[in-house]
Chain A
């Protein structure tokens, strides 16, 4: 069987799951600096499904595609440590302020430049927005079918892929012929850890921007090991209309951001003594809250 050319869409996100006290600034905006930047969790689930396909079908390759600031190259290195073959960092100031429509446009144009692919895997959604929109929108822009909420790739027979989907009320098994975009749900298998050999191999992988301050020793190393290059693309490297990027390409605008404030109540504090609980129950029954 011919190998599959796989692209994994991955995003570096602030870890909104572990929001501490200093995560919000006094003006109600998010203090990104206070939040650790991580590999979006469901994108790791997506990477694992890609790696399993690669394990199963000889000759398959995995390309990580990420869009973000320069530091998002970390996501590509994490992918390489786990078994991806190469990666592209899409980075440009013109992308700043992109909503999901502008983001999916930029990603789809980068994918057109990568050109040859059979399957695109992406996490269902990113934890900094929870929209679950970029995957389906990339699929639409490329004119290919989408399979959302995937839990497991069950089988691959030539161009046919069988996928189990996890839905709110149950599961569905579907078949599709490639090319296809698959978004992977958090109920899918966790991503395997970094491979020690691959970590050694790729720990010095850098984008051109990251190499700017490199020492001579590093540049010598890089000369002999071309795989240490992480490709970095700006808007000049892909075919895009600037109008469709960033704020101007984003139909959604944020009108207002508010801190979540719950009206504090004056609570009555009780001890778990028999007397106090007896009283509470009497009161709740009398005012018809219960009973």
Chain B
């Protein structure tokens, strides 16, 4: 049927945000290509998943509900997914660029001998003319991703192989319900038929997962600090301002590497992509990798000693000064004027 497939991650009764973002994107690509959206969900305790997924415009759910499929293991998931993809022959299959998706997708690409592009930040449909071979391709998936440490953006295509595989970063695409009441069909996967003991040679002995404590991805206002903040102690000023403004605190990679702030708050190409209505960058020079993760913010205020810092080029306001001096003043005058 040559539809678009999305491998949906499911754990602890929840579908991963990135999977819902991909379903949303798949729906709009499918409308362009006049095809259907199909989801593959492998896990256990999947009752009710159909009600959760159909509203995103899902036409078919391939459901593998089996105790042995949760938590995620590479081999049983790849065995089943390969089976489904070989049988259904989709034109596109999408995965989240998560620790699961980036483990599974390459295994699948190798088994099917097809192309895979990692960490896409944008997907589009378009044509391509191979002038040497004199072939015109229509309706290819443009897999757009940063490359070379974020210094360039590459558009990758797989002209010949199907499905076209891509992993997509969390948070770069919108998650949007198409219509409550949208209905599709559920197809059950006969897991016993395809799984064998060989798929379970890796055994999980222990597992400690934490729910995300911070949610910078959906924050309306972000106060982010860089290496220029100077110390973990100075970062407290950012938390103070964030408290007052109802904002979340983020950090650049340099600040995270220096131990000023936790890893889960990292913004940029290797962290989270954000697009708040206000981004306050404190002591952030604005390497290209950082700007890639926040350039879509509606308004940017940069607080920096260095008038020439690259981040200032994309800032609406630049306050030239020290964080230690400026942040308390922002708090003071916000309080004064908000009454």
- Binding partners A and B: yes
Identify the A interface with B (CB < 8 A): 16-17, 19, 23-24, 28, 30, 99-101, 104, 127-137, 139-141, 145-149, 162, 167-177, 250-260, 262-265, 267-272, 274, 276-278, 280-282, 284-285, 289-291
The 8 Å CB contact of A30, one of B151, B212, B329, is B151
* B288 interfacial by beta-carbon distance below 8 Å: yes
Which one, B75, B110, B201, B325, contacts A272 given CB within 8 A? B325
Chain A: CB-nearest residue to B159 = A253
Further 20 A-B residue pairs, CB within 8 A, beyond A132-B102, A260-B150, A272-B321: A24-B152, A28-B152, A104-B110, A130-B147, A133-B106, A146-B107, A169-B210, A169-B212, A170-B209, A174-B203, A174-B205, A258-B152, A260-B152, A262-B295, A262-B313, A264-B314, A271-B320, A272-B319, A290-B334, A291-B338
The 6 closest A-B pairs by CB, nearest first: A16-B149, A251-B115, A272-B321, A252-B115, A140-B110, A137-B110
Of B44-52, B85-93, B116-124, the stretch lying at the interface with chain A is: B116-124
* CB pairs A–B below 8 angstroms (20 shown): A16-B151, A19-B151, A130-B119, A132-B118, A133-B106, A141-B110, A168-B98, A170-B207, A172-B71, A177-B201, A253-B156, A253-B159, A257-B153, A260-B146, A264-B313, A267-B312, A270-B320, A276-B319, A277-B333, A280-B333
Per DSSP, are chain B's interface residues mostly helix, strand or loop, or mixed?
Answer: mixed
8 Å CB contact of A24 from B78, B98, B151, B207: B151
Q: Find chain A residues with CB under 8 A from B75 CB.
A: 145
Interface pair A271/B299, CB less than 8 Å apart: no
Residue on A nearest B211 in the bound complex, by CB:
A169
Knowing A145-B201, A265-B316, A270-B319, the reply to whether A277 touches B326 (Cβ < 8 A) is yes
CB within 8 Å for A255 and B156 given contacts A19-B151, A130-B118, A285-B338: yes
* Cβ A281 vs Cβ B330 within 8 A: yes
Q: Closest chain A residue to B149 by CB distance? A: A16
The reply on B160 being an interface residue by CB < 8 A is: yes
Per-residue A-contact encoding for B301-339, CB less than 8 Å = 1, 0 else: 110000100001111111111100110011001101110
Q: Is the CB of A148 within 8 A of B321?
A: no
Given contacts A167-B99, A175-B203, contact A256 B154 (CB under 8 A): yes
The answer to whether the Cβ of B32 comes within 8 Å of any Cβ in the partner chain is no
Contact A176–B102 (Cβ < 8 Å): no
Per-residue interface assignment for chain B, residues 171 to 201, with 1 indicating a CB less than 8 Å from any chain A CB and 0 otherwise: 0000000000000000000000000000001
B315, A271: Cβ atoms closer than 8 Å: no
CA distance A76 to B304 in the complex (A): 44
Contact B149 A19 (CB under 8 A): yes
Bound together, the chains give a CA A270 to CA B317 distance in angstroms of: 7
Give min CB distance, A83 to chain B, whole Å: 27
B204 touches A174 (CB 8 A): yes
Closest to B292 in A: A260
| Structural contact, B157 and A253, CB atoms closer than 8 A | yes
Given the interface contacts A104-B110, A255-B156, does A133 sit within 8 Å of B210 by beta carbon? no
Which residue of B is nearest A143, CB measured?
B198
Is B206 in the interface zone, CB < 8 Å from A? yes
Q: A251–B318 contact, CB under 8 A?
A: no
**How far is it, in angstroms, between the C-alpha of A98 and the C-alpha of B199 when the chains are bound?**
30
**Complex Cα distance A104/B111, Å?**
12
Indicate whether A265 sits within 8 Å of B202 (C-beta atoms), given known contacts A19-B149, A272-B325. no
Q: Let me know if A146 and B103 touch, CB within 8 A.
A: yes
Residues of A within 8 A of B114 (CB): 101, 251
Q: Give the distance to chain A from B322, nearest Cβ to Cβ, in Å.
A: 7
Q: Please state if A277 and B330 are interface contacts (CB–CB under 8 Å).
A: yes
Q: Are B202 and A145 in contact (CB under 8 A)?
A: yes
Question: Are B277's CB and A289's CB within 8 A?
Answer: yes
* B26 CB, min distance to chain A CBs, angstroms: 20
- Whether B54 sits at the interface, judged by CB under 8 Å, is no
A residues within 8 A CB of B302?
267
Judge whether B334 and A281 touch: CB under 8 Å: yes
Residues of A within 8 A of B119 (CB): 130-131
List chain B residues, Cβ under 8 A from A282.
333, 337
Determine which of B209, B326, B333 lies in contact with A169 in the assembled complex, contact meaning CB atoms within 8 Å.
B209
The answer to whether B131 has its CB under 8 Å from any CB of chain A is no
> B residues within 8 A CB of A176?
201-203
Cβ contacts under 8 Å, A127 to chain B: 149
Q: Are B158 and A140 in contact (CB under 8 A)?
A: no
With A145-B202, A263-B314 already in contact, the answer to whether A271 and B321 are too (CB < 8 A) is yes
B320 touches A272 (CB 8 A): yes
Contact A255 B142 (CB under 8 A): yes
Chain A nearest CB: distance from B77 CB in Å?
Answer: 12
Q: Are B109 and A148 in contact (CB under 8 A)?
A: no
Check B70 for interface membership: any CB of A closer than 8 A: no
Chain A hits for B148, CB < 8 A:
16, 19, 30, 128
A181, chain B: closest CB distance, angstroms: 11
Given contacts A255-B156, A267-B315, A277-B330, contact A137 B202 (CB under 8 A): no
